[in-house]
Amino acid sequence: MTKADIAERINSELGFSKKESSDLLEGVISIMKTTLESGENLKISGFGGFIVRQKKDRRGRNPQTGEAITIEAGRILTFKPSALLRDAINR
């Protein structure tokens, strides 16, 4: 499913115009993106949570040469579904 598909669903199920549906979706995604970029976690009741985690430097190796390298620290985004979503998927 794409953003266009979601906007179309908003249009058909809630009765907003196509432009309003698209703007509404873009606004929600923008808020979510800004929140996660700032390092805050995002929880959506009944859906799940997006968690920003900090990873430390770690050792790795170059698979082509076998040379040991250091993988730099960075932030990663993980998603943990709510129990309601997990149950709905597993039915």
Q: Is 64 helix (H, G, I), strand (E, B) or coil?
A: coil
DSSP state of 54: E
CA quadruple 52, 54, 55, 57: dihedral sign: positive
- Give pLDDT tens digits for 28-78: 999 999 999 999 999 999 999 999 999 999 999 999 999 999 999 999 999
**Which pTM does this prediction carry?**
0.76
CATH number of 40-91: 4.10.520.10
User: 21: which 2 tokens?
Assistant: 């549906």
Q: How far is 33 from 82, CA to CA, in rounded Å?
A: 20
Answer yes or no: are the C-beta atoms of 73 and 56 closer than 8 Å. Answer: yes
